[in-house]
Amino acid sequence: MDFSKCYRFARGFSLRRESFGGILYHYEGKRPDPRLYFIDSPFLIGLLELLEEGPLDELIAQVRAHFHLSDPQVASIREFLTTLASRGAFVAQ
Protein backbone atom coordinates (compact mmCIF):
# COMPACT_ATOMS: atom_id res chain seq x y z
CA MET A 1 0.00 0.00 0.00
CA ASP A 2 1.30 3.42 -0.92
CA PHE A 3 0.93 5.68 2.12
CA SER A 4 1.86 8.74 0.11
CA LYS A 5 -1.45 8.55 -1.78
CA CYS A 6 -4.93 9.84 -1.00
CA TYR A 7 -7.70 7.21 -0.83
CA ARG A 8 -11.43 6.80 -0.52
CA PHE A 9 -13.41 3.74 0.58
CA ALA A 10 -14.25 1.25 -2.15
CA ARG A 11 -17.89 0.37 -2.81
CA GLY A 12 -19.14 -2.08 -0.22
CA PHE A 13 -17.35 -0.42 2.69
CA SER A 14 -19.15 1.84 5.12
CA LEU A 15 -18.02 3.42 8.39
CA ARG A 16 -20.18 4.40 11.35
CA ARG A 17 -19.26 5.96 14.65
CA GLU A 18 -20.36 4.19 17.85
CA SER A 19 -19.92 4.98 21.54
CA PHE A 20 -16.99 2.52 21.76
CA GLY A 21 -15.36 3.79 18.54
CA GLY A 22 -17.02 2.62 15.38
CA ILE A 23 -17.92 -0.16 12.96
CA LEU A 24 -16.50 -0.65 9.51
CA TYR A 25 -18.95 -2.69 7.44
CA HIS A 26 -17.86 -4.57 4.35
CA TYR A 27 -20.18 -6.34 1.95
CA GLU A 28 -17.99 -7.99 -0.61
CA GLY A 29 -20.84 -9.11 -2.89
CA LYS A 30 -19.56 -12.64 -3.45
CA ARG A 31 -20.90 -14.32 -0.34
CA PRO A 32 -23.90 -13.65 1.88
CA ASP A 33 -22.43 -12.41 5.12
CA PRO A 34 -20.92 -8.97 5.47
CA ARG A 35 -17.69 -8.57 7.40
CA LEU A 36 -17.90 -6.30 10.43
CA TYR A 37 -14.85 -4.67 11.97
CA PHE A 38 -15.56 -3.46 15.49
CA ILE A 39 -13.02 -0.72 16.06
CA ASP A 40 -12.46 0.52 19.58
CA SER A 41 -9.72 3.01 18.79
CA PRO A 42 -10.86 6.64 18.54
CA PHE A 43 -7.78 7.65 16.58
CA LEU A 44 -8.31 4.94 14.00
CA ILE A 45 -11.94 5.98 13.56
CA GLY A 46 -10.84 9.61 13.30
CA LEU A 47 -8.33 8.70 10.66
CA LEU A 48 -10.81 6.65 8.62
CA GLU A 49 -13.32 9.48 8.77
CA LEU A 50 -10.70 11.82 7.31
CA LEU A 51 -9.66 9.34 4.65
CA GLU A 52 -10.42 11.50 1.62
CA GLU A 53 -8.85 14.64 3.09
CA GLY A 54 -5.25 13.95 2.15
CA PRO A 55 -2.42 11.45 1.67
CA LEU A 56 -2.40 8.72 4.31
CA ASP A 57 1.06 9.63 5.62
CA GLU A 58 -0.13 13.16 6.31
CA LEU A 59 -3.32 11.97 7.99
CA ILE A 60 -1.37 9.57 10.19
CA ALA A 61 0.97 12.40 11.17
CA GLN A 62 -2.02 14.61 12.09
CA VAL A 63 -3.68 11.88 14.12
CA ARG A 64 -0.37 11.06 15.78
CA ALA A 65 0.12 14.67 16.87
CA HIS A 66 -3.50 15.10 17.97
CA PHE A 67 -3.66 11.93 20.07
CA HIS A 68 0.05 11.90 21.14
CA LEU A 69 0.49 8.41 19.72
CA SER A 70 3.54 6.23 20.35
CA ASP A 71 5.55 4.49 17.63
CA PRO A 72 3.93 1.09 18.33
CA GLN A 73 0.46 2.67 18.08
CA VAL A 74 1.36 4.22 14.74
CA ALA A 75 2.79 0.89 13.60
CA SER A 76 -0.47 -0.87 14.50
CA ILE A 77 -2.49 1.72 12.57
CA ARG A 78 -0.33 1.18 9.50
CA GLU A 79 -0.69 -2.57 9.87
CA PHE A 80 -4.47 -2.33 10.15
CA LEU A 81 -4.69 -0.07 7.11
CA THR A 82 -2.50 -2.48 5.15
CA THR A 83 -4.82 -5.35 6.11
CA LEU A 84 -7.85 -3.36 4.98
CA ALA A 85 -6.09 -2.45 1.75
CA SER A 86 -5.41 -6.13 1.08
CA ARG A 87 -9.18 -6.70 1.40
CA GLY A 88 -9.90 -4.07 -1.21
CA ALA A 89 -11.04 -1.33 1.18
CA PHE A 90 -9.40 1.61 -0.54
CA VAL A 91 -9.41 3.19 -3.96
CA ALA A 92 -6.63 5.64 -4.74
CA GLN A 93 -7.98 9.12 -5.59
Residue placing its CB nearer to another protein in the complex, 16 or 68: 16
CB atoms within 10 A of CB 13: 22
> Applying CB under 8 A, which part among 12-20, 51-59, 63-71, 85-93 lies near another protein?
12-20
Smallest gap from Cβ 71 to another protein, in A, equals: 19
Nearest Cα to 56, choosing from 7, 10, 89, 90? 7
Smallest gap from Cβ 88 to another protein, in A, equals: 13
- Strand, helix or coil at 16? strand
CB atoms within 10 A of CB 62: 15
Burial category of 11 from C-beta neighbours within 10 Å (exposed 0-12, middle 13-18, buried 19 and up)? exposed
Smallest gap from Cβ 92 to another protein, in A, equals: 20
Q: Is 64 in the site for another protein (CB under 8 A)?
A: no
Residues at the contact surface with another protein, assessed by CB under 8 A: 11-12, 14, 16-21, 23, 25, 27, 29-34, 36-41, 44, 80
